[in-house]
């Protein structure tokens, strides 16, 4: 069976169990989203954390309490079945990976769909900028930094960043291109010296893979949606669900819809 | 006593009862904000309404439950005393206007500070674009439209817009200049024919004053923060507080901090 190209078809294949692979490269040009599901009693605090930290946590949609349909970005979709893979957490501990969360759904759950870097990476590629981890067919390298997110009483986290090496003469253009996509992490948070933001060794990312950094290249760092997951692990909520890394929700929005 | 020029001094004079006038033109270049105060049990829904309608309701800061300090935009300030005038609502009815809300404060209240058009008007003036209601020393004309905000289960509202007439050859520049201030309503929502968005008579605004529209000019419409107030009046919450029209919170942020 071939992988379809339309978001609705991808979601349908997830729903029927035919598609369980990571989503990078699927439905190119359509917005993919991180998923966070929390009980309603944490929903205000988590939305507040995202509002205070819009670069790592750009909110695209929030479902009604108990309703699994993300009406703004994919009317008719069901976040309980339409992602290829999920992670279930209790008190901050990963207890299960699964391809369907219907058995875990509760009437007090709220789902948050959060922008991801695929949208601005497409824009970079369309502008002729290299994206190294795509060239090398790896996951993007991600690092915890010494930058603290603006906390709420319950949620706090160091800012997690992703890194893309760029030839020095392309750095300004990369800032310009990604800045337009402020709902997909937007412009970089740091350019150049990793030590300044508390990254000791680029060759040892905290998440993802190491990629090649050439002599004429500068490491450029963007806020990363994994920050939401570290915030949740620190808060240890009674119950939480997220997408499994790389297994995102594919929405009906086009990348351009996120841009300014 | 002269009116001071620094936000902290203006807030101090509000706190001590020395300043009770409207704030347009005060502390020029600093961000002013709409105020909405609601009980915690409505806080998630209201934040969600704002998140779904970022053009009329761009959130600048949200206080912790029961805490009157807007830590992000004015550390040390107290929203109970630092605005010149407030309105108190019960079940959607205006019950009192007052210059101090300490007597009304409760431990379950959350304050929302929402961007306002003064920031982009300064940018327009700095770009050589006319702002008619400032020229004519009036309040900006505002209109209810036939555009519906994206609702939540509790909050819904027609989009309220403000109108500024512009010479036709300045319209594109006005879009460019205001687009940068996406946390202060951003680019216009409509240019040209008022009838298309349900405005029957420009000479009869729903709020504010009529301004002169010349023969070579086009009416340009921006989303307006009054939308939050109409949403609250429709929801009829048990209790709510807002700033009195034109009597805004003056923050420590510079206008440029809101721009992209």
Same domain, B111 and B29: yes
> Which residue, chain included where needed, has tokens 């929405």?
A251
**What digits encode the pLDDT tens for the residues B93-103?**
999 999 999 99
> Which residue, chain included where needed, has tokens 């529209």?
B213
Same domain, B177 and B91: no
Give B179 to chain A, closest Cα distance, Å. 8
Whether residue A260 has pLDDT greater than 80 = no
Q: Which pLDDT score is estimated for A31?
A: 94
User: What CA–CA distances, in Å, run from B109 to B48, B62, B142, B238, B240?
Assistant: 17, 11, 29, 12, 9
Q: Which pLDDT score is estimated for B189?
A: 97
Q: pLDDT band at residue B260, thresholds of 50, 70 and 90? A: confident
User: What CA–CA distances, in Å, run from B239 to A161, B164, B249?
Assistant: 41, 33, 20
Give A43 to chain B, closest Cα distance, Å. 7
User: pTM, whole model, 2 decimals?
Assistant: 0.87
**What is the rounded CA–CA span in Å between residue A195 and residue A202?**
9
Q: pLDDT band at residue A1, thresholds of 50, 70 and 90? A: low
Pick from B72, B150, B153: which is nearest to A72 by CB?
Answer: B150
CB contact under 8 A, B64 and A150: no
Residue count of chain B, please give it: 260
Whether residue B15 has pLDDT greater than 90 = yes
Q: What are phi and psi for residue B208, nearest 5 degrees?
A: 75, -160
Same domain, A244 and A194: no
Domain assignment present for A1: no
**What is the rounded CA–CA span in Å between residue A22 and residue A118?**
13
Q: Which pLDDT score is estimated for A177?
A: 93
Pick from A47, A52, A182: which is nearest to B48 by CB?
Answer: A47
Same domain, A40 and A128: no
Give A58 to chain B, closest Cα distance, Å. 10
| Pair B117, B77: CB distance under 8 Å | no
**What digits encode the pLDDT tens for the residues A209-230?**
999 999 999 999 999 999 999 9
Q: Please state the rounded mean pLDDT for residues A5-34.
A: 92
Domain assignment present for B250: yes
CATH number for the domain spanning A220: value is 3.30.2040.10
Same domain, B213 and B249: no
Run of H or E including B93? strand B93-98
Which of A82-86, A108-112, A210-214, B135-139 has the lowest average pLDDT? B135-139
The domain total for chain B is: 2
Q: Which pLDDT score is estimated for A182?
A: 87
Q: Which pLDDT score is estimated for A66?
A: 96
Same domain, B22 and B111: yes
Q: Which pLDDT score is estimated for A47?
A: 95
Domain assignment present for B2: no
Q: pLDDT band at residue B1, thresholds of 50, 70 and 90? A: low
Give B61 to chain A, closest Cα distance, Å. 8
Q: pLDDT band at residue A3, thresholds of 50, 70 and 90? A: confident
**What is the rounded CA–CA span in Å between residue A55 and residue A189?**
9
Domain assignment present for A110: yes
Q: Please state the rounded mean pLDDT for residues A240-253.
A: 94
Whether residue B2 has pLDDT greater than 80 = no
pLDDT more than 70, % of chain A: 100
**What digits encode the pLDDT tens for the residues A39-64?**
999 999 999 999 999 999 999 999 99
- B25 Rama class: left (phi>0) / alpha (psi -120 to 50) / beta: left
Give A44 to chain B, closest Cα distance, Å. 4
Domain assignment present for B67: yes
Same domain, B92 and B179: no
CATH number for the domain spanning A74: value is 3.40.1640.10
**What is the rounded CA–CA span in Å between residue B194 and residue B163?**
10
CB contact under 8 A, A150 and B72: yes
| Pair B70, B241: CB distance under 8 Å | no
Same domain, A139 and A221: yes
Domain assignment present for A14: yes
Q: Which pLDDT score is estimated for B4?
A: 83
Q: pLDDT band at residue A88, thresholds of 50, 70 and 90? A: very high
Chain B residues with CB-CB distance to A54 below 8 A: none
| Pair B167, B130: CB distance under 8 Å | yes
Question: Where in the sequence is the domain holding B100, given as residue range(s)?
Answer: 7-115+236-255
Chain A residues with CB-CB distance to B114 below 8 A: none
Same domain, B147 and B219: yes
Same domain, A24 and A82: yes
Q: pLDDT band at residue A161, thresholds of 50, 70 and 90? A: very high
Q: Which pLDDT score is estimated for A15?
A: 95
Q: pLDDT band at residue A258, thresholds of 50, 70 and 90? A: confident
| Pair A99, A17: CB distance under 8 Å | yes
**What is the rounded CA–CA span in Å between residue B243 and residue B113?**
10
Chain B: residue whose CA lies nearest to A154: B64
Q: How many CB atoms lie within 10 A of CB A153?
A: 12
Residues of A with CB under 8 A from a CB of B: 40, 43-44, 47-48, 51-52, 59, 62, 64, 72, 150, 152-153, 179, 182, 260
Q: Which pLDDT score is estimated for A110?
A: 98
Q: Which pLDDT score is estimated for B24?
A: 85
Q: What is the mean pLDDT of chain B?
A: 94
Domain assignment present for B49: yes
Domain assignment present for A2: no
Same domain, B54 and B66: yes
| Pair A64, A55: CB distance under 8 Å | no
- E-strand ranges in chain B read 30-39, 59-62, 86-90, 93-98, 109-115, 142-148, 158-167, 190-191, 217-223, 240-243, 249-254
Chain B residues with CB-CB distance to A64 below 8 A: 152-153
Same domain, A89 and A145: no
Chain B residues with CB-CB distance to A51 below 8 A: 47, 51, 59, 62
């Amino acid at each position: 069976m071939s992988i379809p190209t339309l978001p609705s078809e991808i979601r349908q294949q997830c729903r029927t169990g035919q598609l369980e692979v990571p989503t990078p490269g699927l439905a190119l040009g359509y917005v993919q989203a991180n998923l966070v599901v929390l009980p309603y009693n944490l929903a205000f605090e988590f939305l507040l954390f995202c509002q205070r930290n819009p670069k790592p946590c750009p909110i695209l949609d929030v479902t009604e309490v108990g309703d699994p349909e993300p009406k703004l970005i994919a009317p008719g979709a069901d976040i309980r079945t339409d992602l290829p893979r999920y992670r279930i957490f209790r008190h901050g501990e990963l207890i299960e990976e699964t391809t369907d969360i219907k058995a875990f759904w509760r009437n007090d759950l709220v789902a948050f769909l959060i922008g991801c870097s695929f949208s601005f990476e497409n824009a970079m590629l369309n502008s002729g900028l290299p994206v190294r981890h795509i060239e090398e067919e790896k996951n993007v390298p991600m690092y915890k930094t010494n930058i603290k997110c603006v906390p709420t009483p319950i949620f706090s986290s160091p800012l997690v960043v992703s890194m893309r090496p760029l030839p020095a003469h392309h750095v300004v253009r990369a800032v310009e291109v990604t800045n337009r996509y402020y709902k997909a992490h937007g412009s970089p948070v740091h350019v150049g010296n990793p030590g300044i933001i508390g990254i000791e060794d680029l060759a040892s990312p905290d998440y993802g893979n190491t990629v090649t950094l050439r002599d004429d290249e500068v490491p450029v760092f963007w806020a990363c949606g994994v920050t939401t997951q570290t915030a949740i692990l620190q808060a240890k909520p009674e119950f939480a669900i997220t997408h499994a890394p790389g297994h995102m929700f594919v929405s009906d929005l086009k990348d351009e819809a996120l841009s300014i």
